[in-house]
């Protein structure tokens, strides 16, 4: 998945009108958004196609899918069927559950991102100790898209070393959580940025500031 200006806008809003309004303000600078449960629980999976039909954006559904294989398959089939271009799934549930997501992505000719480690402080307690092994698992399963944190550059660098130079890494945690955009792009292909943009008084100016910082 090619991402314009290396920026994925995280749309953790709960109102479709506000979401589309924001997309309209930023449409010249971005072409890929990440939505999750806040929007689709509030507005339904129809919100996926609303974004695509209005702006022709790539839509990544960040559901962090983490269930048994049979349930994962249903979640992914429904989400891809609703128009999503990609889904993010957790890796800690093991290869059989991840494979169910991967098979669905292949069947629908869409993309799957494997989450290796999250960007928030709580990830240190449980997920971090297995993050490198999750990355290795994904690599060995021929997964080519990964999620890894900008808030811990040393670990992002190691995950890059594990998955290899040709893998596509998208990285959350820039801005509000403290991740540095320019430093993150030394190891990641794209930045996932949400609150720093959509909570700003002027989202377009906030995005322009970020873009200037990564030149």
Question: Where in the sequence numbering do the catalytic residues fall?
Answer: 64
Rg (the chain; Cα; Å): 16
**One-character DSSP codes across 97-138:** HHHHHHHHHHHTT-EEEEE---SSGGGGTTTHHHHHHHHHHH
Among 181, 26, 178, residue whose Cα is nearest residue 170: 181
Residue 211 and residue 207: Cα distance in Å, rounded? Answer: 6
User: DSSP alpha helices (H): ranges in the chain?
Assistant: 16-26, 37-43, 46-55, 69-81, 95-107, 128-140, 153-163, 181-184, 195-198, 203-213
Residue 191 and residue 10: Cα distance in Å, rounded? Answer: 10
């Amino acid at each position: 998945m090619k991402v314009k200006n290396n920026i994925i806008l995280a749309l953790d809003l709960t109102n479709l009108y506000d979401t589309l309004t924001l997309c309209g303000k930023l449409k010249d600078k971005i072409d890929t958004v990440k939505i999750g449960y806040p929007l689709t629980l509030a507005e339904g999976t129809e919100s996926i196609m609303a974004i695509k039909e209005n702006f022709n954006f790539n839509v990544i559904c960040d559901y962090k899918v983490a269930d048994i294989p049979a349930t994962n398959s249903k979640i992914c089939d429904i989400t891809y069927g609703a128009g999503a271009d990609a889904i993010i799934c957790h890796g800690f549930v093991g290869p059989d559950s991840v494979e169910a997501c991967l098979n669905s992505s292949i069947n629908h000719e869409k993309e799957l991102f494997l989450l290796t480690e999250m960007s928030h402080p709580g990830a240190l307690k449980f997920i971090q100790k297995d993050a490198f092994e999750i990355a290795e698992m994904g690599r060995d399963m021929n997964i080519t898209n990964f999620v890894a944190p900008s808030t811990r550059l040393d670990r992002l660098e190691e995950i890059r070393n594990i998955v290899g130079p040709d893998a596509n890494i998208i990285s959350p945690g820039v801005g509000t959580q403290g991740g540095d955009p320019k430093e993150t792009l030394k190891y990641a292909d794209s930045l996932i940025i949400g609150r720093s943009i959509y909570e700003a008084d002027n989202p377009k100016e906030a995005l322009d500031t970020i873009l200037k910082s990564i030149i």
